[in-house]
């Protein structure tokens, strides 16, 4: 289905037609499951959550959100990816609390994006994303689209309406900021 049709359905949802959430979710289900699979690949092996379970958990969050304002397909998928990340982090925290030990992903951000400079774990990424978002939402969006959704620079440029070269420059800024935040945390200040 064309992106304009998804946008039209989301506009109707925003206007109060919550019954259309099912239709949007069904139309984008394959993409949603791919995002869920990508999110789960960020975690260490042995997790009991499947892409289907993760997609359905996030569906419930969308359906139960009374104040849902999503403008287009990009916003919808971005909202779901953030919901998935939050759900997975809550699951990791619950397991860590239950076992009274720190459970972490074996994968680092460097594994996700192929950059050895960015070497921190999934739980640290959540804090870094939030701090960057408080400083510059644009950098945070690029970082999340690259890390959480695994988009290429070309795909990101289409999503956020910047040239690929601008996205690459902003990516370098986002990486530098993530490293600075991470190193500040390690140094204790």
Average pLDDT, whole number, for the chain? 77
Confidence of residue 168 (pLDDT cuts 50, 70, 90): very high
**Which of the two residues, 134 and 62, has the higher pLDDT score?**
134
What is 107-189's CATH number?
A: 1.10.10
Sequential DSSP letters for 28-43: THHHHHHHHHHHHHTS
What whole-number distance in Å separates Cα of residue 93 and Cα of residue 91? 5
Mean pLDDT over 155-180 rounds to 86
- Contact of 75 with 46, CB cutoff 8 Å: no
Residue 65 reports pLDDT greater than 70: yes
pLDDT value of residue 121: 61
Average of pLDDT values for 153-163? Answer: 83
- For residues 27-54, average pLDDT: 83
What does the pLDDT look like over 102-138, one tens digit per residue? 434 444 444 444 455 555 566 677 788 888 889 998 8
DSSP result, 51-84: HHHHHHHHHHHHHH-TT----SHHHHHHHHHHHH
pLDDT of residue 188: 52
Q: What is the pTM of this model?
A: 0.57
* Of the listed ranges 9-13, 21-25, 59-63, 100-104, the one predicted with least confidence: 100-104
Percent of the chain with pLDDT over 90: 6
Q: Where are the domains of the chain?
A: 1-104, 107-189
pLDDT at 95: 66
**pLDDT reported for residue 99:** 52
Rounded-to-integer distance, Cα 138 and Cα 170, Å: 8
Whether 157 has a pLDDT exceeding 90, the answer reads no
């Amino acid at each position: 289905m064309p992106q304009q049709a998804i946008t039209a359905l989301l506009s109707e949802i925003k206007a109060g037609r919550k019954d259309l959430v099912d239709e949007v979710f069904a139309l984008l289900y394959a993409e949603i499951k791919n995002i869920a699979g990508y999110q789960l690949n960020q975690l260490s092996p042995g997790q009991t959550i499947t892409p289907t379970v993760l997609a359905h958990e996030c569906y419930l969050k969308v359906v139960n959100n009374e104040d849902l304002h999503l403008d287009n397909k990009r916003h919808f998928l971005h909202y779901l990816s953030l919901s998935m990340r939050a759900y997975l982090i809550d699951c990791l925290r619950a397991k860590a609390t239950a076992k009274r030990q720190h459970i972490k992903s074996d994968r680092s951000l460097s594994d996700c994006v192929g950059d050895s400079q960015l070497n921190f774990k999934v739980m640290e990424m959540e804090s870094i994303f939030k701090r960057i978002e408080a400083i510059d939402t644009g950098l945070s969006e690029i970082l999340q689209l690259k890390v959480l959704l695994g988009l290429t620079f070309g795909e990101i440029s289409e999503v956020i309406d910047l040239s690929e070269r601008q996205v690459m420059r902003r990516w370098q800024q986002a990486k530098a900021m993530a490293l600075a935040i991470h190193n500040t945390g390690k140094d204790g200040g």
